[in-house]
Amino acid sequence: MTTNTDLFKDRKFLAIIGDENTVSGMLLAGIGQVDVINERTEKNFFIVDAKVDNPMIEAAFDNFTVERKDIGILLINQHVAERIRYKLDDFKSPFPTVLEIPSKDKPYDPEKDTILKRVKLLTGDE
């Protein structure tokens, strides 16, 4: 495990990819950060509604995990994570930490959680 401080010293924001209700709650808590850089708006949240397709979610995920270096924790609704599951499975970097959270309509299912899948893998390959 690396202890290089460059990996995490600027990771000061939480980001979220989720449905409208979850994002509203998180914005109400005060995690929202919107910057305008070179006439381009950069938000740390991405709302997934009926119009959003999988490539857009993938792009948001890549933006928060690969392109942006200021995200420390990424929250993602589990039903949204299911749509880009292979991306989450491939994501091995320690930063940002990706956490799956339930949504208003879909309860949390431990069977689908990436971290608990890793547990199965570790305890099953002895």
Partner 1 sequence: MDEIPKPPAIDLLLFRYLDLIDSYMTLTSLLTRVHTAMHVNLAKANFVAPHGERFGPERFPTTMEARWRVDVTVADYEPPARAEVAEEPAKAAGDKDAEDESCSLSGEDSELGGPSILELVRIIKLGGGIPTFRVINRHSEDADLPTDRLSLNPHRGDSAGAGGERNVDHAENEDESDDSYEKVDPFPAAQADPGDTTTAKAIPPRKKPSPHDPLFWISALPTQTLRTAQSQAVVFVTEVVPGLATVAAEMRAVEIKIRRLRKHRAKGLKDKSSQEAQSKDVKAPDVKPTSS
* Residues found near partner 1 in the complex (CB under 8 A): 1, 3, 5, 8-9, 11-14, 20-36, 41, 44-45, 47, 72-73, 75, 94-95, 97, 99, 101-102, 104, 107-108, 110, 113, 115-116, 118-119, 122, 126
Mapping DSSP to helix (H, G, I), strand (E, B) and coil, where does residue 111 land?
A: helix
| Beta bridge pairs of residue 77 | 101
The smaller minimum CB distance to partner 1, of residues 12 and 85, is found at 12
Least spacing, CB of residue 26 vs partner 1, in Å: 6
Question: Contact, 109 vs 87, CB < 8 A?
Answer: no
The position carrying tokens 């119009």 is: 51
C-alpha closest to that of 102 among 75, 74, 83:
75
The smaller minimum CB distance to partner 1, of residues 85 and 120, is found at 120
Least spacing, CB of residue 60 vs partner 1, in Å: 14
The position carrying tokens 């994501």 is: 91
- Between CA 66 and CA 23 the distance in angstroms is 21
Question: Contact, 77 vs 101, CB < 8 A?
Answer: yes
The smaller minimum CB distance to partner 1, of residues 86 and 126, is found at 126
Least spacing, CB of residue 53 vs partner 1, in Å: 19
The smaller minimum CB distance to partner 1, of residues 48 and 84, is found at 48
Least spacing, CB of residue 56 vs partner 1, in Å: 16
